Amino acid sequence: MNEHVQSRPTVTDDPKARDLLRKAFEATARWPKDFSGFTADLTVNINGKEIGGSVIVKSPREVSVQLDDADTQKWVQEQLGMIAVHRGPRSFEESDGKYLLTMEEDGHPMGTKLVIHGSNSFYRIKDDRITQINRSMAHPGMAPFAFTINVEDSAVTQDGKNLTTKYTVYYYSPVDGKLNNVESFTDSHVRVGSSDLPAARRIISFENGTVVVKSLTFKNHKLL
């Protein structure tokens, strides 16, 4: 008996897509290669309730937050870990450059569609900036989920690099398309030495039937 196995079409890496994403990657602000971390005083405000503390950030996995509230402390650690992942020094080959890349010009207002094969992701790129990130996730024991990040505004650093200052995240189910939450982020930064460090972050989201506004304010930064 002959069995016919239908194979997936072979994806060929597109050099133009690779060049497009590399340019956007290299135009994005990151901490210097010799960056050892920083400390700062922190004030957290959640819908008017303030709590103060301190932070030490060395790398995405080395984030220490001192706050009197355990739940808030854990949340702040997650926020700083996320910031450190995006801002930490790394090469293009270590990140999206390790995947096969293709592109599609579809006339979208946010730019060229760039597919990162093998990562369940696609981006949009315009004017050497990543303007949108789309990703779907599936973890054992958890319902699959997906998100879209729209980058709405950015600043240019002293080094001429792009640093995102405003973006919105839409979380939804890839199964039925149901929107689960929206988070709006507004960031500001302060230059310390040759690094642009977080100065403030405001997040507006919808939780348990109400709109929640959270802010993080960092002061007295010191490089390690």
Mean pLDDT calculated for residue range 136-163: 91
pLDDT of 113 higher than 50:
yes
Dist CA 114 CA 121 (whole Å): 9
pLDDT digits (tens, 9 = 90+) for 11-31: 899 999 999 999 999 999 999
What one-character DSSP code corresponds to residue 8?
P
What one-character DSSP code corresponds to residue 179?
E
Q: Which residues, other chains included, contact 221 with Cβ-Cβ below 8 Å and sequence gap of 6+?
A: 38, 39, 40, 190, 192, 197
Helices (H), the chain: 15-26, 70-87
pLDDT digits (tens, 9 = 90+) for 159-184: 999 999 999 999 999 889 899 999 99
* Closest among 25, 8, 161, 10 to 98, alpha carbons compared: 25
